[in-house]
Amino acid sequence: MSRTGLAMVQTAARRLEARELALPAIGVDDALLRVEACGICGSDVESFQGVLKVPLPLIPGHEPLGVIEAIGERAAQRWGVRAGDRVAVETLLPCNACRRCRSGAYQLCASRRVYSYIPLAEAPGLWGAYAEFLYLAPNAIVHKVDPSLPAEIAVMFNPLGAGFRWAAEMPRTQPGDTVLVMGPGQRGLASVIAAREVGAGTILVTGLSRDAHKLALAREFGADHTIDVERESLVKRVREITDGRGVDVVIEVTPVATQPIVDARMLGVTVGESTAERVRLVLPFADGNTNPGQVLHGGVAASLVALAGQAVARAALAAETGPFHSATLQVTYLAAARAEAVVAEARLLRAGKELCFADVQVRTQNGKAIAQGLVTVRGRSGTADAQLPETRGDDGAAEPGPMGPHVAKTPFMRRLGLRIEHMSGGTARIVLPFRDGLSDASGGVHEGAALALFDTTGAMAAWAVTGPGPYRASTPALQAQCLAPLPADDLVAFGRAVHRDAESHWCDVEVAGARSRRVFARGTVQYRIVT
């Protein structure tokens, strides 16, 4: 066997170089794979474009199919394979020692690593499958594959597996459920196949006009309805198809799109229990909901608390008492959710004529507590328009400071389109431009988006006190009052640091209509920066 192999090495954004790399000596616990084929993941494209930051240089590719070239004795026994066997390799490299790994939830391992995200500098360097050979570490996960399958078919193991996990396993899809698949790409089509196999009653798939051939394929694979969202209103069509009931499960697999997430919230997505006293919502992991490090943004958790509380209110007070808004909302953040789905479970505490009180718990799917919220939801049917106060605003300074331009590029900020206009001297001003993708069923800005703006503005006011540095930061709590349903208008939020006690900062926030200058939400964010 040659002692070198060809690999495509990414050295910078949009730059790949062909290199001959040394092959490692194989010990008793590891192996070497001769790569037959490798699927192209959406994250491979984002890494190549420079959108997803990765430790360069490295070898991309984490959906490999290949043949065992060399293998150690213990590795052969552990994996049940031998040299010459064809295998598929999973993306993750879990630790295999923590509680989550031992329970079988290795995809939630806090110490997991991912093929194609490990730099070339880390020996033996062959950590990606855009190469002739891939190093199989002792903690790699491999599966035997039928050698008679054509490589271009067998390499589809990854999207097909994802389809089963996302459409069947994670949401616990039951026979008869109505399933909405948002996006007709390879993982969306795989989700259709999986949903049909587990007995879904009705399957809907969305796409764009240019996806006509994919939507036709979705129908061939078992979809009952396909919706071109550029020609039809998704919300209206779903309500028509389901007689107003909505759907039981949503799988969101559209690349870099915000409208499907908003539509899913507008549909009141529930998974599992949904009664007048209890609601369960699931938010799948998405890079666009995170801070650096794939940690769920605090504003997203606050949005989930509001959404779950309002879902209970709609059931308890009846939809006719709307429109609804969170008169008060208190969120305490307990732990970080990193690169994983989260579940919000709302429990009705009391329902009056126009007010509904709910307790909301946000957890990971394995039960780790992420946030706890208390919500008072108000139904405004028959109530006169609120007489809203005018915002105090600020002095009009426009100094984004050294952090503003960089913070605005984080996945979550970029997804919402938040624009940092000022971030200096303990004050912050951030604008959320209005667009259809951020509207709710009544046409105004979605309350979840406004709460995300609220949380972010409080945090930026705190950073405007300390300035940048290698610090650790988090939001322990926020308290917000939404004075009325939000307008169909750009929103501007003003944050002001009012007190500091060591690493803790208390920042007052007002969210107002950019043109009306009327306050629609106000409150306080407690933010912690460990310097």
Q: Is residue 465 very low, low, confident or very high in pLDDT (cuts 50, 70, 90)?
A: very high
Structure tokens at 62: 């984490």
Structure tokens at 149: 């399958």
How far apart (Å, rounded) are the C-alpha atoms in residues 48 and 15?
7
The per-residue pLDDT for range 292-301, each reduced to its tens digit, is 888 888 888 8
**The pLDDT of residue 263 is above 50:** no
**Beta-sheet strands, E only, within 451-490:** 472-482
**Most confident stretch, 94-98, 276-280, 428-432:** 428-432
| Range scoring the smallest mean pLDDT among 53-67, 184-198, 349-363 | 349-363
The single residue listed with the structure tokens 């870099």 is 256
The per-residue pLDDT for range 507-527, each reduced to its tens digit, is 999 999 999 999 999 999 999
Q: Is residue 274 very low, low, confident or very high in pLDDT (cuts 50, 70, 90)?
A: low
Structure tokens at 450: 């406004």
How high does pLDDT run on average in the chain? 87
**The pLDDT of residue 387 is above 70:** yes
**CA angle, corner 246, sides to 242 and 249, nearest 5?**
115
Mean pLDDT of 33-47: 90
Provide the percentage of residues in the chain whose pLDDT is more than 70.
Answer: 91
The per-residue pLDDT for range 321-376, each reduced to its tens digit, is 667 789 999 999 999 999 888 888 999 898 877 888 999 999 998 889 999 999 99
**The pLDDT of residue 147 is above 50:** yes
- Position with higher pLDDT, 418 vs 233: 418
**The pLDDT of residue 377 is above 60:** yes
pTM, to two decimals: 0.52
Q: Is residue 1 very low, low, confident or very high in pLDDT (cuts 50, 70, 90)?
A: low
Q: What does the pLDDT read at residue 489?
A: 87
B/e letters for 250-283, b = 16+ CB within 10 Å, e = fewer, are bbbbbeebbbbbbbbbbbbbbbbebeeebbbbbb
Chain-centre distance for alpha carbon 219: 27
**The pLDDT of residue 501 is above 80:** yes
H-type alpha helices, 33-115: 42-49, 73-79, 99-103
Q: Is residue 478 very low, low, confident or very high in pLDDT (cuts 50, 70, 90)?
A: very high
User: What single DSSP character describes residue 146?
Assistant: -
How far apart (Å, rounded) are the C-alpha atoms in residues 497 and 464?
8
The per-residue pLDDT for range 9-38, each reduced to its tens digit, is 999 989 999 999 999 999 999 999 999 999
Which of these, 151, 143, 119, lies nearest to 35 by C-alpha position? 151
| Dihedral sign (CA 193, 263, 420, 340) | negative
**The pLDDT of residue 268 is above 70:** no
Mean pLDDT of 139-143: 96
Other CB atoms within 10 A of residue 236 CB: 10
How far apart (Å, rounded) are the C-alpha atoms in residues 486 and 520?
6
User: What single DSSP character describes residue 24?
Assistant: P
Q: Is residue 106 very low, low, confident or very high in pLDDT (cuts 50, 70, 90)?
A: confident
| Dihedral sign (CA 210, 211, 215, 217) | positive
Q: What does the pLDDT read at residue 272?
A: 44
